[in-house]
Structure 1
Amino acid sequence: MQQQERAKLFASLHVKDRPLILYNAWDAGSAKAIADAGSPAIATGSWAVAAAQGYGDGESMPFASVEFIVARIAAAVDVPVTVDVEGGYSEDPQLCAANVARLLEHGVVGINFEDRIVHGKGLHGLELQCARIAAIRAMADARGVPLFINARTDLFLGTGVKPPEGMAEAKDRAAAYARAGASGYFVPGLVDLSAIRELSNAVELPLNVMAMPGLPAVRELAQAGVARISYGPSAYLLAMETIQRAARDILEERQAA
Protein backbone atom coordinates (compact mmCIF):
# COMPACT_ATOMS: atom_id res chain seq x y z
CA MET A 1 0.00 0.00 0.00
CA GLN A 2 1.35 3.43 -0.95
CA GLN A 3 1.94 6.09 1.70
CA GLN A 4 -0.85 8.30 0.39
CA GLU A 5 -3.32 5.40 0.53
CA ARG A 6 -2.24 4.52 4.06
CA ALA A 7 -2.69 8.11 5.13
CA LYS A 8 -6.23 8.18 3.73
CA LEU A 9 -6.99 4.85 5.38
CA PHE A 10 -5.70 6.09 8.72
CA ALA A 11 -7.83 9.23 8.55
CA SER A 12 -10.90 7.14 7.72
CA LEU A 13 -10.45 5.15 10.95
CA HIS A 14 -11.35 8.23 13.00
CA VAL A 15 -15.10 7.92 13.32
CA LYS A 16 -17.14 9.81 15.89
CA ASP A 17 -19.05 7.40 18.13
CA ARG A 18 -16.85 4.48 16.97
CA PRO A 19 -13.42 5.27 18.38
CA LEU A 20 -10.18 3.98 16.98
CA ILE A 21 -8.32 2.12 19.74
CA LEU A 22 -4.55 2.57 19.68
CA TYR A 23 -2.50 0.42 22.03
CA ASN A 24 0.78 2.27 21.77
CA ALA A 25 4.03 0.62 20.70
CA TRP A 26 7.62 1.57 21.53
CA ASP A 27 9.74 -0.49 19.12
CA ALA A 28 9.48 -2.77 16.11
CA GLY A 29 8.82 -5.88 18.20
CA SER A 30 5.95 -4.36 20.16
CA ALA A 31 4.54 -2.80 16.99
CA LYS A 32 4.51 -6.15 15.20
CA ALA A 33 2.86 -7.85 18.18
CA ILE A 34 0.12 -5.20 18.31
CA ALA A 35 -0.41 -5.34 14.54
CA ASP A 36 -0.58 -9.16 14.63
CA ALA A 37 -3.23 -8.85 17.33
CA GLY A 38 -5.43 -7.12 14.77
CA SER A 39 -4.79 -3.42 15.29
CA PRO A 40 -5.61 -1.45 12.11
CA ALA A 41 -2.82 1.05 12.85
CA ILE A 42 0.28 1.50 15.00
CA ALA A 43 0.94 4.52 17.19
CA THR A 44 4.04 5.23 19.21
CA GLY A 45 4.13 6.99 22.57
CA SER A 46 7.10 9.23 23.28
CA TRP A 47 7.34 8.28 26.96
CA ALA A 48 7.63 4.57 26.24
CA VAL A 49 9.92 4.99 23.24
CA ALA A 50 12.31 7.05 25.35
CA ALA A 51 12.09 4.84 28.43
CA ALA A 52 12.85 1.72 26.41
CA GLN A 53 16.16 3.32 25.42
CA GLY A 54 16.99 4.60 28.91
CA TYR A 55 15.90 8.20 28.34
CA GLY A 56 13.37 10.40 30.07
CA ASP A 57 10.41 11.90 28.27
CA GLY A 58 10.52 15.45 26.94
CA GLU A 59 12.75 15.26 23.85
CA SER A 60 15.76 14.06 25.83
CA MET A 61 16.24 11.22 23.37
CA PRO A 62 18.22 12.31 20.28
CA PHE A 63 15.94 12.77 17.29
CA ALA A 64 18.23 10.57 15.19
CA SER A 65 17.44 7.72 17.58
CA VAL A 66 13.74 8.43 17.31
CA GLU A 67 14.03 8.35 13.53
CA PHE A 68 15.88 5.02 13.61
CA ILE A 69 13.25 3.40 15.84
CA VAL A 70 10.40 4.78 13.73
CA ALA A 71 12.04 3.46 10.57
CA ARG A 72 12.26 -0.03 12.10
CA ILE A 73 8.62 0.11 13.21
CA ALA A 74 7.40 1.22 9.78
CA ALA A 75 9.39 -1.55 8.12
CA ALA A 76 8.01 -4.20 10.48
CA VAL A 77 4.27 -3.66 9.94
CA ASP A 78 1.88 -3.38 7.01
CA VAL A 79 -0.55 -0.96 8.64
CA PRO A 80 -0.51 2.85 8.95
CA VAL A 81 2.00 4.24 11.45
CA THR A 82 1.58 7.43 13.45
CA VAL A 83 4.36 8.84 15.61
CA ASP A 84 4.42 10.93 18.76
CA VAL A 85 6.88 13.71 17.87
CA GLU A 86 6.27 15.64 21.12
CA GLY A 87 6.91 19.29 20.23
CA GLY A 88 8.74 18.59 16.99
CA TYR A 89 12.14 18.95 18.68
CA SER A 90 12.17 22.68 18.00
CA GLU A 91 10.11 25.78 18.63
CA ASP A 92 10.88 26.99 15.13
CA PRO A 93 8.07 26.11 12.69
CA GLN A 94 10.38 25.28 9.79
CA LEU A 95 12.67 23.09 11.89
CA CYS A 96 9.62 21.23 13.23
CA ALA A 97 8.50 20.64 9.67
CA ALA A 98 11.97 19.47 8.65
CA ASN A 99 12.06 16.97 11.49
CA VAL A 100 8.66 15.58 10.61
CA ALA A 101 9.76 15.36 6.98
CA ARG A 102 12.49 12.93 8.05
CA LEU A 103 9.81 10.62 9.46
CA LEU A 104 7.69 10.88 6.33
CA GLU A 105 10.65 9.48 4.41
CA HIS A 106 10.08 6.22 6.29
CA GLY A 107 6.40 5.99 5.41
CA VAL A 108 4.83 7.57 8.49
CA VAL A 109 1.29 8.86 7.86
CA GLY A 110 0.41 10.55 11.15
CA ILE A 111 1.89 12.44 14.07
CA ASN A 112 0.95 13.65 17.52
CA PHE A 113 2.13 17.23 17.92
CA GLU A 114 1.79 18.93 21.29
CA ASP A 115 1.48 22.53 22.42
CA ARG A 116 3.35 22.10 25.69
CA ILE A 117 6.60 24.08 25.97
CA VAL A 118 8.84 21.05 26.23
CA HIS A 119 11.84 22.73 27.80
CA GLY A 120 9.88 25.31 29.77
CA LYS A 121 6.54 25.79 31.45
CA GLY A 122 3.02 26.17 30.19
CA LEU A 123 1.72 26.03 26.65
CA HIS A 124 2.79 27.76 23.48
CA GLY A 125 0.66 30.72 22.50
CA LEU A 126 -1.89 30.14 19.77
CA GLU A 127 -0.04 32.16 17.15
CA LEU A 128 3.20 30.20 17.45
CA GLN A 129 1.55 26.80 17.78
CA CYS A 130 -0.64 27.45 14.76
CA ALA A 131 2.40 28.55 12.77
CA ARG A 132 4.13 25.29 13.68
CA ILE A 133 1.12 23.21 12.63
CA ALA A 134 0.77 25.17 9.40
CA ALA A 135 4.44 24.63 8.54
CA ILE A 136 4.11 20.87 9.02
CA ARG A 137 0.95 20.82 6.93
CA ALA A 138 2.59 22.78 4.12
CA MET A 139 5.58 20.45 4.13
CA ALA A 140 3.41 17.32 3.98
CA ASP A 141 1.17 18.78 1.27
CA ALA A 142 4.22 19.63 -0.81
CA ARG A 143 5.17 15.94 -0.65
CA GLY A 144 1.70 14.81 -1.57
CA VAL A 145 1.10 13.11 1.79
CA PRO A 146 -2.23 13.83 3.55
CA LEU A 147 -0.52 13.62 6.94
CA PHE A 148 -2.84 13.17 9.91
CA ILE A 149 -1.71 15.89 12.33
CA ASN A 150 -3.17 15.04 15.72
CA ALA A 151 -2.89 18.38 17.49
CA ARG A 152 -2.40 17.70 21.16
CA THR A 153 -3.13 20.17 23.92
CA ASP A 154 -1.72 19.61 27.40
CA LEU A 155 -4.20 22.08 28.86
CA PHE A 156 -5.57 19.45 31.26
CA LEU A 157 -2.42 17.34 31.74
CA GLY A 158 -0.43 18.10 34.87
CA THR A 159 -1.49 21.73 34.92
CA GLY A 160 -4.13 21.67 37.62
CA VAL A 161 -6.63 23.10 35.13
CA LYS A 162 -9.92 21.23 35.17
CA PRO A 163 -13.27 21.69 33.49
CA PRO A 164 -15.26 23.79 33.39
CA GLU A 165 -12.68 26.60 33.64
CA GLY A 166 -10.46 25.20 30.90
CA MET A 167 -13.18 24.38 28.39
CA ALA A 168 -13.32 27.76 26.68
CA GLU A 169 -9.58 27.66 25.96
CA ALA A 170 -9.80 24.01 24.88
CA LYS A 171 -12.46 24.94 22.32
CA ASP A 172 -10.50 27.97 21.13
CA ARG A 173 -7.36 25.90 20.65
CA ALA A 174 -9.27 23.21 18.75
CA ALA A 175 -10.74 25.77 16.36
CA ALA A 176 -7.41 27.50 15.82
CA TYR A 177 -5.53 24.25 15.27
CA ALA A 178 -8.15 23.13 12.75
CA ARG A 179 -7.72 26.37 10.80
CA ALA A 180 -3.94 25.86 10.84
CA GLY A 181 -4.27 22.42 9.26
CA ALA A 182 -4.71 19.92 12.09
CA SER A 183 -6.58 16.68 11.39
CA GLY A 184 -7.46 15.64 14.94
CA TYR A 185 -7.54 17.02 18.47
CA PHE A 186 -5.88 15.13 21.34
CA VAL A 187 -6.74 16.13 24.90
CA PRO A 188 -4.88 13.88 27.36
CA GLY A 189 -5.80 14.39 31.01
CA LEU A 190 -9.45 15.10 30.27
CA VAL A 191 -11.44 12.31 31.96
CA ASP A 192 -14.75 13.91 32.92
CA LEU A 193 -17.42 12.38 30.67
CA SER A 194 -19.66 15.43 30.52
CA ALA A 195 -16.69 17.63 29.60
CA ILE A 196 -15.57 15.13 26.95
CA ARG A 197 -19.07 15.11 25.46
CA GLU A 198 -19.23 18.91 25.50
CA LEU A 199 -15.89 19.22 23.76
CA SER A 200 -16.71 16.56 21.20
CA ASN A 201 -19.93 18.36 20.30
CA ALA A 202 -18.17 21.72 20.07
CA VAL A 203 -15.14 20.88 17.91
CA GLU A 204 -15.00 19.91 14.24
CA LEU A 205 -11.89 17.74 14.59
CA PRO A 206 -12.05 14.06 15.64
CA LEU A 207 -11.54 13.99 19.41
CA ASN A 208 -8.80 11.82 20.95
CA VAL A 209 -8.55 11.02 24.67
CA MET A 210 -5.97 9.01 26.61
CA ALA A 211 -6.56 6.01 28.86
CA MET A 212 -5.73 6.91 32.45
CA PRO A 213 -7.31 6.56 35.90
CA GLY A 214 -10.82 7.96 35.91
CA LEU A 215 -11.42 7.73 32.16
CA PRO A 216 -14.89 6.29 31.42
CA ALA A 217 -15.41 2.98 29.62
CA VAL A 218 -15.03 2.75 25.84
CA ARG A 219 -18.79 2.42 25.32
CA GLU A 220 -19.42 5.63 27.25
CA LEU A 221 -16.69 7.44 25.36
CA ALA A 222 -18.14 6.27 22.06
CA GLN A 223 -21.56 7.57 23.06
CA ALA A 224 -19.92 10.88 23.98
CA GLY A 225 -18.57 11.22 20.44
CA VAL A 226 -14.91 10.27 20.95
CA ALA A 227 -13.16 9.19 17.74
CA ARG A 228 -9.86 7.87 19.13
CA ILE A 229 -8.57 6.41 22.38
CA SER A 230 -4.84 6.17 23.02
CA TYR A 231 -3.27 3.99 25.70
CA GLY A 232 -0.02 5.93 26.09
CA PRO A 233 2.62 4.05 28.11
CA SER A 234 0.19 1.37 29.33
CA ALA A 235 1.55 -1.45 27.16
CA TYR A 236 5.17 -0.65 27.97
CA LEU A 237 4.51 -0.46 31.70
CA LEU A 238 2.64 -3.77 31.62
CA ALA A 239 5.46 -5.43 29.68
CA MET A 240 8.13 -4.15 32.04
CA GLU A 241 6.10 -5.19 35.09
CA THR A 242 5.72 -8.69 33.63
CA ILE A 243 9.44 -8.97 32.88
CA GLN A 244 10.40 -7.70 36.34
CA ARG A 245 8.03 -10.10 38.07
CA ALA A 246 9.29 -13.07 36.03
CA ALA A 247 12.92 -12.13 36.63
CA ARG A 248 12.29 -11.76 40.36
CA ASP A 249 10.62 -15.19 40.55
CA ILE A 250 13.45 -16.85 38.67
CA LEU A 251 16.14 -15.16 40.77
CA GLU A 252 14.41 -15.97 44.02
CA GLU A 253 13.96 -19.59 42.96
CA ARG A 254 17.65 -19.84 42.09
CA GLN A 255 18.71 -18.31 45.40
CA ALA A 256 16.52 -20.74 47.29
CA ALA A 257 17.99 -23.77 45.50
Structure 2
Amino acid sequence: MSRRLDGRTALVTGATSNIGRAVATAFAAEGAHVVVTGRDAGRGEEVVARIRAAGGRGDFVAARLDGSLRASRDLAAEADRVLGGRVDILVNNAGIFPGWTTADTDEATFDEVYAVNVKAPYFLTAAIAPAMAGRGGGAIINLGSWVARLGIPVGTLYSSTKGAMETLTRAWAAEFGPAGVRVNAISPGVIYAPEPGQTGTHPAEVMMRGTPAGGTGTPDAVAHAAVYLASDEAAFVHGTVIDVDGGRVGVAVIAA
Protein backbone atom coordinates (compact mmCIF):
# COMPACT_ATOMS: atom_id res chain seq x y z
CA MET A 1 0.00 0.00 0.00
CA SER A 2 1.35 3.44 -0.95
CA ARG A 3 1.90 5.79 1.94
CA ARG A 4 0.77 9.38 1.52
CA LEU A 5 4.19 11.02 1.96
CA ASP A 6 6.44 8.46 0.30
CA GLY A 7 9.58 10.00 -1.15
CA ARG A 8 9.09 13.37 0.52
CA THR A 9 11.17 15.23 3.05
CA ALA A 10 9.97 17.23 6.03
CA LEU A 11 11.29 19.63 8.65
CA VAL A 12 9.23 19.86 11.86
CA THR A 13 10.24 22.49 14.39
CA GLY A 14 9.62 21.94 18.07
CA ALA A 15 9.42 18.22 17.33
CA THR A 16 10.86 16.85 20.57
CA SER A 17 7.55 16.81 22.48
CA ASN A 18 3.77 17.09 22.34
CA ILE A 19 2.27 18.16 18.99
CA GLY A 20 5.57 18.42 17.13
CA ARG A 21 6.62 14.93 18.16
CA ALA A 22 3.26 13.52 17.05
CA VAL A 23 3.50 15.28 13.68
CA ALA A 24 7.06 14.09 13.05
CA THR A 25 6.16 10.51 13.97
CA ALA A 26 3.05 10.56 11.78
CA PHE A 27 4.94 11.97 8.80
CA ALA A 28 7.58 9.26 9.09
CA ALA A 29 4.89 6.58 9.32
CA GLU A 30 3.49 7.92 6.04
CA GLY A 31 6.88 7.55 4.33
CA ALA A 32 8.55 10.94 4.74
CA HIS A 33 12.18 11.43 5.73
CA VAL A 34 11.81 13.76 8.71
CA VAL A 35 14.20 16.16 10.37
CA VAL A 36 13.26 16.43 14.03
CA THR A 37 14.46 19.68 15.52
CA GLY A 38 14.45 21.29 18.94
CA ARG A 39 16.65 22.42 21.78
CA ASP A 40 16.88 19.16 23.74
CA ALA A 41 19.15 16.64 22.01
CA GLY A 42 18.18 13.83 24.38
CA ARG A 43 14.49 14.15 23.67
CA GLY A 44 15.17 14.65 19.98
CA GLU A 45 17.14 11.45 19.72
CA GLU A 46 14.32 9.62 21.53
CA VAL A 47 11.89 10.76 18.85
CA VAL A 48 14.28 9.69 16.10
CA ALA A 49 14.76 6.31 17.77
CA ARG A 50 10.98 5.84 17.89
CA ILE A 51 10.71 6.72 14.19
CA ARG A 52 13.48 4.33 13.19
CA ALA A 53 12.17 1.51 15.38
CA ALA A 54 8.92 1.72 13.42
CA GLY A 55 10.80 1.47 10.12
CA GLY A 56 10.80 5.17 9.29
CA ARG A 57 13.52 7.66 8.40
CA GLY A 58 14.38 10.43 10.82
CA ASP A 59 17.32 12.56 11.91
CA PHE A 60 17.75 15.06 14.71
CA VAL A 61 19.12 18.54 14.14
CA ALA A 62 19.63 20.69 17.21
CA ALA A 63 18.35 24.24 16.85
CA ARG A 64 17.64 27.16 19.12
CA LEU A 65 15.22 29.26 17.10
CA ASP A 66 15.61 32.56 18.90
CA GLY A 67 14.12 34.73 16.18
CA SER A 68 17.42 35.70 14.62
CA LEU A 69 17.81 35.52 10.88
CA ARG A 70 21.01 33.51 11.31
CA ALA A 71 19.42 30.80 13.49
CA SER A 72 16.63 30.23 10.98
CA ARG A 73 18.98 30.22 8.01
CA ASP A 74 21.37 27.83 9.73
CA LEU A 75 18.56 25.39 10.45
CA ALA A 76 17.26 25.61 6.90
CA ALA A 77 20.72 24.91 5.51
CA GLU A 78 21.39 21.96 7.82
CA ALA A 79 17.96 20.43 7.19
CA ASP A 80 18.53 20.81 3.46
CA ARG A 81 21.85 19.01 3.78
CA VAL A 82 20.49 16.16 5.92
CA LEU A 83 17.49 15.68 3.67
CA GLY A 84 19.55 15.39 0.51
CA GLY A 85 19.14 18.85 -0.93
CA ARG A 86 15.51 19.73 -0.46
CA VAL A 87 12.76 20.32 2.10
CA ASP A 88 9.35 19.39 0.68
CA ILE A 89 7.31 20.03 3.83
CA LEU A 90 7.88 22.62 6.55
CA VAL A 91 5.92 22.59 9.79
CA ASN A 92 6.30 25.76 11.86
CA ASN A 93 5.34 24.33 15.23
CA ALA A 94 7.91 25.57 17.77
CA GLY A 95 6.56 28.10 20.24
CA ILE A 96 6.64 29.25 23.85
CA PHE A 97 3.87 30.35 26.19
CA PRO A 98 5.18 32.54 29.01
CA GLY A 99 3.27 35.61 30.11
CA TRP A 100 -0.26 35.27 31.40
CA THR A 101 -1.89 38.68 31.69
CA THR A 102 -1.08 41.96 30.00
CA ALA A 103 -0.05 43.74 33.19
CA ASP A 104 2.21 40.86 34.23
CA THR A 105 4.15 40.78 30.94
CA ASP A 106 7.43 42.65 30.88
CA GLU A 107 9.24 43.89 27.78
CA ALA A 108 11.83 41.11 27.76
CA THR A 109 9.12 38.45 27.81
CA PHE A 110 7.19 40.24 25.07
CA ASP A 111 10.25 40.34 22.82
CA GLU A 112 11.16 36.70 23.50
CA VAL A 113 7.70 35.35 22.74
CA TYR A 114 7.45 37.27 19.47
CA ALA A 115 10.99 36.26 18.53
CA VAL A 116 10.33 32.54 18.98
CA ASN A 117 6.69 32.39 17.89
CA VAL A 118 6.71 34.81 14.93
CA LYS A 119 10.19 35.97 13.87
CA ALA A 120 11.71 32.48 13.85
CA PRO A 121 9.07 30.88 11.60
CA TYR A 122 8.99 34.01 9.45
CA PHE A 123 12.68 33.82 8.66
CA LEU A 124 12.64 30.02 8.40
CA THR A 125 9.89 30.24 5.81
CA ALA A 126 11.85 32.97 4.04
CA ALA A 127 14.81 30.58 3.88
CA ILE A 128 12.87 27.56 2.62
CA ALA A 129 9.79 28.66 0.63
CA PRO A 130 11.65 30.25 -2.33
CA ALA A 131 13.45 26.96 -3.02
CA MET A 132 10.13 25.13 -2.86
CA ALA A 133 8.71 27.64 -5.33
CA GLY A 134 11.72 27.15 -7.58
CA ARG A 135 11.01 23.41 -7.70
CA GLY A 136 7.34 24.06 -8.41
CA GLY A 137 5.85 22.70 -5.19
CA GLY A 138 5.91 22.17 -1.47
CA ALA A 139 3.75 22.42 1.63
CA ILE A 140 4.05 24.72 4.62
CA ILE A 141 1.95 24.14 7.72
CA ASN A 142 1.78 26.72 10.48
CA LEU A 143 0.44 26.13 13.97
CA GLY A 144 -2.15 28.64 15.14
CA SER A 145 -4.37 28.29 18.19
CA TRP A 146 -8.00 28.48 19.21
CA VAL A 147 -7.13 31.40 21.49
CA ALA A 148 -6.26 33.47 18.41
CA ARG A 149 -9.99 33.75 17.64
CA LEU A 150 -11.75 33.23 20.95
CA GLY A 151 -10.66 35.76 23.54
CA ILE A 152 -9.78 34.49 27.00
CA PRO A 153 -8.48 36.67 29.85
CA VAL A 154 -5.06 35.00 30.08
CA GLY A 155 -2.34 34.27 27.55
CA THR A 156 -2.89 37.56 25.73
CA LEU A 157 0.66 37.74 24.39
CA TYR A 158 0.68 34.13 23.14
CA SER A 159 -2.71 34.50 21.47
CA SER A 160 -1.54 37.56 19.55
CA THR A 161 1.44 35.63 18.15
CA LYS A 162 -0.83 32.85 16.98
CA GLY A 163 -3.09 35.41 15.34
CA ALA A 164 0.00 36.65 13.51
CA MET A 165 0.79 33.14 12.29
CA GLU A 166 -2.73 32.65 10.96
CA THR A 167 -2.49 35.97 9.11
CA LEU A 168 0.91 35.00 7.70
CA THR A 169 -0.64 31.75 6.49
CA ARG A 170 -3.00 33.64 4.21
CA ALA A 171 -0.32 36.11 3.09
CA TRP A 172 2.18 33.35 2.30
CA ALA A 173 -0.49 31.40 0.41
CA ALA A 174 -0.93 34.45 -1.80
CA GLU A 175 2.82 34.96 -2.16
CA PHE A 176 3.97 31.40 -2.80
CA GLY A 177 0.80 29.60 -3.91
CA PRO A 178 1.02 30.59 -7.58
CA ALA A 179 4.39 28.81 -7.69
CA GLY A 180 2.87 25.59 -6.33
CA VAL A 181 3.63 25.99 -2.62
CA ARG A 182 0.57 25.30 -0.49
CA VAL A 183 0.50 27.20 2.81
CA ASN A 184 -2.09 26.31 5.44
CA ALA A 185 -2.46 26.27 9.19
CA ILE A 186 -3.90 24.14 11.95
CA SER A 187 -5.60 25.71 14.94
CA PRO A 188 -5.46 23.20 17.81
CA GLY A 189 -7.88 23.39 20.68
CA VAL A 190 -7.00 22.34 24.20
CA ILE A 191 -4.47 19.54 23.77
CA TYR A 192 -3.72 17.81 27.03
CA ALA A 193 -2.88 14.29 28.18
CA PRO A 194 -3.34 13.61 31.93
CA GLU A 195 -0.27 12.37 33.75
CA PRO A 196 -0.42 8.83 35.21
CA GLY A 197 -1.87 8.94 38.70
CA GLN A 198 -3.21 12.47 38.30
CA THR A 199 -6.30 13.24 40.38
CA GLY A 200 -8.75 16.09 40.27
CA THR A 201 -9.86 18.26 37.36
CA HIS A 202 -7.17 20.02 35.35
CA PRO A 203 -7.89 23.59 34.10
CA ALA A 204 -7.47 22.31 30.54
CA GLU A 205 -10.45 20.03 31.01
CA VAL A 206 -12.55 22.89 32.33
CA MET A 207 -11.83 24.88 29.14
CA MET A 208 -13.50 22.18 27.03
CA ARG A 209 -16.77 22.10 28.91
CA GLY A 210 -19.71 23.07 26.73
CA THR A 211 -18.08 21.79 23.53
CA PRO A 212 -19.21 18.92 21.29
CA ALA A 213 -16.09 16.95 22.20
CA GLY A 214 -16.64 17.52 25.90
CA GLY A 215 -12.97 16.95 26.68
CA THR A 216 -9.40 17.67 25.68
CA GLY A 217 -7.73 16.53 22.49
CA THR A 218 -4.53 14.58 21.87
CA PRO A 219 -1.45 15.49 19.85
CA ASP A 220 -2.33 12.71 17.42
CA ALA A 221 -5.51 14.56 16.44
CA VAL A 222 -3.39 17.47 15.24
CA ALA A 223 -0.91 15.13 13.53
CA HIS A 224 -3.70 13.56 11.45
CA ALA A 225 -4.65 17.01 10.16
CA ALA A 226 -1.01 17.79 9.39
CA VAL A 227 -0.63 14.61 7.34
CA TYR A 228 -3.69 15.58 5.32
CA LEU A 229 -2.42 19.11 4.64
CA ALA A 230 1.01 17.79 3.64
CA SER A 231 -0.40 15.18 1.26
CA ASP A 232 -1.79 15.32 -2.26
CA GLU A 233 -5.26 14.91 -0.77
CA ALA A 234 -5.07 18.61 0.09
CA ALA A 235 -3.88 19.68 -3.37
CA PHE A 236 -6.74 22.21 -3.68
CA VAL A 237 -6.36 23.62 -0.16
CA HIS A 238 -4.60 26.98 0.09
CA GLY A 239 -4.53 29.64 2.80
CA THR A 240 -6.94 27.95 5.16
CA VAL A 241 -6.92 27.32 8.90
CA ILE A 242 -8.24 23.93 9.98
CA ASP A 243 -9.75 23.94 13.45
CA VAL A 244 -8.84 20.81 15.38
CA ASP A 245 -10.41 21.97 18.59
CA GLY A 246 -13.35 19.74 19.48
CA GLY A 247 -15.71 22.53 18.43
CA ARG A 248 -14.33 25.00 20.97
CA VAL A 249 -14.37 28.04 18.69
CA GLY A 250 -17.40 27.44 16.51
CA VAL A 251 -19.96 25.49 18.55
CA ALA A 252 -21.66 25.86 21.89
CA VAL A 253 -23.48 22.93 23.47
CA ILE A 254 -26.27 23.86 25.85
CA ALA A 255 -26.65 21.14 28.45
CA ALA A 256 -30.15 20.28 29.61
TM over 0.5: same fold? no
Greater RCO, CA 8 A, separation 6+: 1
Q: Give the structure-2-normalised TM-score.
A: 0.40
Q: Give the structure-1-normalised TM-score.
A: 0.40
